[in-house]
Structure 1
Amino acid sequence: MKLSIITPCKTKDIEKLKQLATNLNRQDNNDFEWVIACNHDVDLNGLNFPIESINFNGENVAQARNAAIRKAHGDYLMFVDADDFLLPNTINNVINKLKPNCLTDLKVYPTYEPVNSYFTEINQKQEFRMPNWAFRRIPEPTAEETELNDNFQEVNQNIIFDNISKYLKISGKIIPKGIVWDNDILFDEENPLYDDFYFMGKVLGLVDKFIQFDTFKYVKVKHNDPINDPSLSQLECDDRWDQMLNSFIKTFNSVTYNELQNKIVIHSINKINKYFYNAVISNKFSKNKLNDILNIMSNYLSLINVKLLNNVNFISRRILINIKKHNYSKAKRQMKLLIGLRYIHKLLKNKGRGITRVYYEMICKKLKVNEKVIIYESFLGRNYSDSPKYIYEYIQKHYPGQFKHIWIAANSNVKKDLSSKPNTKVVKRFGFRYMYYMGVSKYQVINMRQPRWFHKKPGTVFMSTWHGTPLKHLVFDMENVASATRLYKKIFYEQSRQWDYLVTANQFSVDVFKHAFMYPEQKMIKSGYPRNDILNVPNRDELAKNIKQKLGIPLDKKVILYAPTWRDDEYVDVGQYKFQLKLNIAKLREQLGDEYVMVLRTHYFITNNLDTSGFGDFVYNESSYDDISELYLISDILITDYSSVFFDYSILRRPILYYVYDYDKYASVLRGFYLDMKKDLPGPLLKTSDEVINAIQNIDDVSAEYADKYAEFSEKFSKWEDGHASERVVNMLLKDDKRVKKID
């Protein structure tokens, strides 16, 4: 037996362990054993290699790894965490390259949020493809890098030491067991957060040969849900800095090789310089806790050569020297100076927005709340639309002159729409007036999320209207977060805790938001969406006629509204996607142009302007039209895909077609659904342009075929939509304000 793969595991990781089992079972070489130390019984059958399972009842990962080391029979130890995996053919590529007294580095590739289906795809196909959406904040590998090969090089200690932060981590390392046994090297069981520093520090001081593979073979999955499934680095721990510093001290004292000691010190002081001062200034520690940490840091600094402090800037160097001398008050003043300078530097880089943020932090957030100010924002200030629009209009009508209304705008369109409205002011998003009103407003009505830096004041009311009934998995139900930072779930959780109310359209949404947002049901308003009130007004036919005339659409033509959404795999940047028009518009025009015109309305995430100029008067591209509810009113048929627009459109009881040319890929790989699209939708799933044309030509037959399904769908999703949602929502928003008077 040459190789022992060691995996610590806790009960919450059992499902991940099963995935890893599948991954290992598909390796081309099974000349290894798998040693699992778990605090739960592990039932894994049908594997091509032996398993040594340890029913482990210890407290931390270090104890589990040490228990596994003691049971390992192999000549080499490879450490693979339960939520990571190896690329195909890895063991076959490395097993003949292992050498006595030689550390082997598999070259770790850190991924963010790969979905399970993608993981399964790697296992099943035994190939490695790197889709853009599977990785975040790291360079996409070149074609040469993604080729699986066994090329490697022997590197010297200087290369290892120059990358010491990487080599102090156990992931992707293969270590001769003899080095571990002969030198009694174990993981630090007293330091559960940083147990591998001590272990790897001793190993690096003893080996004199290093093998590093040219291509990455170990994929380390970084957790994207710090709230429900935090990694060790994401755990909220009061003693994190104590443990980190103690790990550096213990590792420093255990290493006899001076150059390695120096590299460990440089790594540690860079970490202190980067993270610690900001934590102090942000009041992350109590006074006693901070003194405890500073005492540990002082002891550590007394061990090291003061010349190594030259690796940080002058102010940081003075801070560390003062900590070493126990001049803590002076050190804290210097920390404030350094953080202030960093903040100014960041503001200067951000130019205008940075300056207004200073204005908010220094002045606006300290101002007294104005009881009569309401702020509204729709889709990050892009337009005057959605539920905030209809809440605003209801308040204007029924509480005239009693409030000052502030609309946030990212462009000039919003100001144009509101220029003649009484008691209304439009302010530029992130401008000076924006910051002022964010600081003084009593009410905030927003359909997405507030900025991360905004914290509502006591006594104010924040209402999230959200922006749709969910079809695709949201936030905590998402395995893959391709459109945002890997801390998206943590940030969302922190922001949504500030919401006083969350507006919901139906009971289905209530049930989803409870787990997708982890939001309490008692704070949800079960009202329907204010934006849908317009779909039930008595004069909606007259409104539709006026809208058609405004857009120049012939009154004698029927309207097809095509409203596709974005795709995760067409990612450009955070919240930005490209879209390729797959529907054969030319053929639709040829077959349907005598009777119909098409209105195109893409999702606001889609950044590229689709060129429809070649389709003459058949296509009206209204992707920038503010209020999609008005486009619902003028349309006779809706074509969509995975957009939630059909939930709202169904209120009109008009035909809905689903053009889902990429259904198999989208459903299984890109995003999961809350509904079974093949069973639950009030219209057919169509995969070709010909099927779409045929459905439109026979739309009466399609409507008859789906009549029962449509009625069932409406009962489930539209029951609350009676045209009075705005009234219910505003009543909740203003229920504690005794000074306002409603005028019916």
Structure 2
Amino acid sequence: MQFMDKIKKWIRFIMFYCFSCLYSLKYPMKDNKVCFLSDVRTTMGGNLKCVYDYLEDKEFERVIEFKADRRVRRTFKDKLKLIYNLATSHYILLDDFSNAITFMKVRKGQEIVQLWHGPGAFKKFGWSRANNGEDIGSIHRGYKKYTKATVSGQGIRWCYAEAFSISEDKIKATGFPRTDDFFNSQYIENTKQQFYLEYPELKNKKIILFAPTYRGVKVKDANYDFSQIDYSKMYEEFHDEYVFIIKWHPALYNNITMGEVDAPDLSQYGDFYRDFSSYRDINDLLIVCDTLITDYSSVVFDYVLLNKPIIYFTYDLKEYTSFGGRGLYFDFEEYVYGKVAYTQDELFDAIQCNELMESKRAVFYDKFMGECDGHATEKTCHWLFGE
């Protein structure tokens, strides 16, 4: 079965590449055309939206090629449209990897730009995982086709150069566009007002946002050890004062919705547990929450800009960071600007503590987010489009 799957994949690759070559010969590349490409979303959001909106009153033709999940197959007609848009776009912008980049023929002068979906550099990805001892199989070859990539701080350019297997001079620290909103006090106030208009029942509650990354070697295998949370005890301890909002990683949430992973049924706890995984943009949730619980997720980088308590629930730290595990770019302690909990009891204590750790927060910001200043979208677009 695996052999046949490989044959089918090669057939798809050859067909895609042949049509890509044909369209490159038949149609000219348009200097002002920008293709926004994602295999993990159906709606515009994140860094892609920031750039898309910035170009609205500029003389650019913007096209969108999105699909919800990499396992979703485009129809033949949609695939031809995708190939045409890729072949004729001067700029192709991504915020995650896409197999279409591997399959396509890159034209002379074409810009394949990775804006990535998370700032900072936490858990290893791409070619950085090649020597971790993990059984990850093949590594996405489209990474090497990137002509440019942006990052949130100067000190992490090397991490992305290693992950994409491209030279460091192709990586520029322009900041992270979606964090611009965190520097806009009116935006923050409007976000809170809109959120509580939609969810008035949460207005008089403190909000714990639980947003861990997934476990699993590959995205398609994304899972989580749900048993690490004592949901009954959490409810007993905090339901009077708090509401517990869950935001599963998109890869894990896709597996949950597709029936590949069984998430716990928390309906017995009334409105204490609220699943906001379908809430596409996490920025709003970071703004309204009072405390964030996460682990090795890149959300720690966005969150540092909001100056609120954070808890790292890293029950599997040794396994996750050791040889054969996912691995981190820096020592775990360099990512910490809040309480670390390894057990359920430590997690409860950390929630009640609400410690900010100001000095660690400042060091963290300088190292990972130093170019995030409220003007990242403008800096990114100036670098990409020469304006």
TM bin, normalised by shorter chain, reads 0.7 to 0.9
1:391–1:726 CA contact under 8 A, matched in 2: yes
1:665 to 2:312 alignment:
no
**Offset, 1:674:** 2.3
CA shift for structure 1 position 439: 1.5
User: How big is the shift at 1:654?
Assistant: 1.1
- Contact residue 502 and residue 523 of structure 1 kept, 8 A: yes
Query: Compared with structure 1, are the counterparts of its residues 347 and 504 closer, same or farther at alpha carbon in structure 2 (3 Å cutoff)?
Result: closer
- Post-superposition Cα deviations, 1:186-218, rounded to whole Å, max 9, x if no partner, equal xxxxxxxxxxxxxxxxxxxxxxxxxxxxxxxxx
Say if 1:408 and 1:428, in contact at 8 Å, map to a contact too.
Answer: no
1:594 to 240, 255, 262: 240
Contact kept in structure 2, 1:384 and 1:626, CA below 8 Å: no
Q: Are the structure 2 counterparts of residues 661 and 510 from structure 1 closer, same or farther at C-alpha, using a change threshold of 3 Å?
A: same
State the partner residue of 2:210: 562
Q: What is the aligned partner in structure 2 of residue 404 from structure 1?
A: 61
**Residue matched to 2:97:** 449
CA 1:373–1:480 in 2, change beyond 3 Å: closer, same or farther? same
Q: Structure 1 residue aligned with 2:34, among 368, 374, 378?
A: 374
Deviation of residue 595 (structure 1)?
1.9
**CA contact under 8 A between 2:132 and 2:327: conserved in structure 1?**
no
Alignment pair present for 1:389 and 2:49: yes
Contact 2:180–2:376 (CA<8 Å) still a contact in 1? yes
Structure 1 residue 516 displacement after superposition: 3.8
Distance (Å, rounded) in 2 between the aligned partners of 1:735 and 1:483: 42
1:459 aligns with 2:109: yes
Of structures 1 and 2, the larger Rg is shown by: 1
> For the Cα contact (< 8 Å) 1:411–1:428, is it kept in 2?
no
Aligned in 2, Cα 1:657/1:379: closer, same or farther, shift over 3 Å?
A: farther
Preserved CA contact (<8 Å) 2:245 2:274 = yes
Counterpart of 1:689 in structure 2 is 344
2: CA distance between counterparts of 1:395 and 1:722?
A: 20
TM-aligned CA deviation for residue 627 of structure 1: 1.1
Residues 145-164 of structure 1: pairs in structure 2 closer than 5 A: none
What is the Cα deviation at residue 365 of structure 1?
Answer: 6.1
Tell me the distance in 1 between the aligned counterparts of 2:281 and 2:25: 32
Q: 1:577 and 1:731 mapped to 2: Cα distance?
A: 36
What amino acid is aligned across from residue 330 of structure 2 in structure 1? L
Contact 2:177 2:380 in 1 (8 A): yes
Instruction: Give the match's secondary structure for 1:463.
Output: strand
- CA shift for structure 1 position 675: 2.7
The within-5 A match list for 1:214-253 is: none
CA contact (8 A) 1:378 1:385 kept: no
Measured in 1, the distance between the counterparts of 2:294 and 2:150 equals 24
Distance 1:364 1:542, change over 3 A: same
Unmatched segments (≥5 aa) in structure 2: 70-74, 258-262
Report the counterpart of residue 435 of structure 1 in structure 2. Answer: 83
SS at match of 2:35: strand
Equivalent-residue separation in structure 2 for 1:444 and 1:473 (angstroms): 24
Partner Cα distance (1:429, 1:380) in 2:
20
Alignment-derived partner of residue 527 in structure 1: 174
C-alpha distance after superposition, 1:606-646 (max 9, x if no partner): 11252443332112212222111222122121100111210
Counterpart position of 1:580: 225
The sequence identity of aligned pairs, in percent, is 26
Residue number in structure 2 paired with 1:721: 372
TM-score by length of 1: 0.45
Does 1:474 find its partner at 2:125?
yes
Change (3 A) 1:709 1:576: same
Q: Kindly tell me: are residues 458 and 356 of structure 1, through their superposed partners in 2, closer, same or farther at Cα, counting changes over 3 Å?
A: closer
Identify if the C-alpha distance between structure 1 residues 359 and 685 changes in structure 2 by more than 3 Å, giving closer, same or farther: same
**How far apart, CA to CA, are the structure 2 residues paired with 1:553 and 1:365?**
58
1:272-291 → structure 2 map (5 Å cutoff): none
Q: 2:295 aligns with which of 627, 641, 658?
A: 641
Residue 498 of structure 1 is matched in structure 2 by 145
2:276 and 2:302 map into 1 onto residues whose CA distance is 18
* Alpha-carbon distance, 1:735 to partner: 0.7
Amino acid aligned to 2:245:
V
Matches within 5 A, 1:111-126: none
In the aligned structure 2, how far is the partner of 1:355 from the partner of 1:715? 47
CA contact (8 A) 1:536 1:723 kept: yes
> Does the alignment pair 1:511 with 2:149?
no
Residue aligning to 2:191: 543
CA 1:501–1:348 in 2, change beyond 3 Å: closer, same or farther? Answer: closer
User: What's the offset of the Cα at 1:392?
Assistant: 0.8
User: Corresponding residue for 1:485?
Assistant: 137
Gaps of 5+ in 1: 1-136, 139-342, 413-426, 737-744
CA distance in 1, matches of 2:241, 2:174: 38
- Total equivalences in the alignment: 364
Per the alignment, residue 14 of structure 1 pairs with none
Specify the code of the residue in structure 1 equivalent to 2:156. S
Contact 2:20–2:105 at 8 Å: present in 1 too? no
Question: Post-superposition shift, 1:671?
Answer: 2.2
Given that 2:292 and 2:310 are in contact with CA atoms closer than 8 Å, whether structure 1 keeps it comes out as yes
Higher relative contact order (CA 8 A, sep 6+): 2
AA matched with 2:213:
T
What is the alpha-carbon distance in structure 2 between the residues aligned to residue 367 and residue 623 of structure 1?
41
Question: Is residue 334–residue 364 contact of structure 2 (8 Å, CA) maintained in 1?
Answer: no
Q: Residue by residue, what CA displacement relative to the aligned partner does 1:504-543 show, whole Å, maximum 9, x if unpaired?
A: 1012321323444343232222111111112211211221
Q: Secondary structure at the match of 1:605?
A: helix
In structure 2, how many angstroms separate the alpha carbons of the residues matched to 1:379 and 1:727?
A: 25
| Distance change in 2, residues 1:534/1:466 (3 Å) | same
Structure 1 pair 665–553 and aligned structure 2 pair: CA distance change class (3 A) = farther
- With over 3 angstroms needed to count, the CA separation of the structure-2 counterparts of 1:647 and 1:485, relative to structure 1, is same
Give per-residue Cα distances to partners, 1:79-110, cap 9 Å, x unaligned. Answer: xxxxxxxxxxxxxxxxxxxxxxxxxxxxxxxx
Distance 1:679 1:462, change over 3 A: closer
Mark the CA change 1:548 to 1:410 in structure 2 (over 3 Å): closer, same or farther: farther
**Could you say which residue in structure 2 is the equivalent of 1:626?**
280
SS at match of 2:36: strand
Asked if the contact 1:473–1:516 (Cα under 8 Å) also holds between the matched residues in 2, the reply is yes
SS state of the match for residue 311, structure 2?
strand
CA–CA separation in structure 2 for the residues paired with 1:428 and 1:647: 40
Return the letter of the residue paired with 1:672: G
**Amino acid of the residue matched to residue 621 of structure 1?**
D
Give the AA of the match of 2:117: H
Residue 657 of structure 1 aligns to which amino acid in structure 2? I
Larger deviation, residues 459-468 vs 439-448: 459-468
1:298-331 Cα shifts (integer Å, max 9, x gaps): xxxxxxxxxxxxxxxxxxxxxxxxxxxxxxxxxx
Equivalent pair of 2:146/2:166 in contact (CA under 8 Å): no
SS of equivalent residue, structure 2 residue 91: strand
**One-letter amino acid of the counterpart of residue 659, structure 1:** F
Say which SS state the counterpart of residue 685 (structure 1) adopts.
strand
CA distance in 1, matches of 2:287, 2:206: 12
Amino acid aligned to 2:365 = S
Q: Give the aligned residue type for 1:559.
A: I
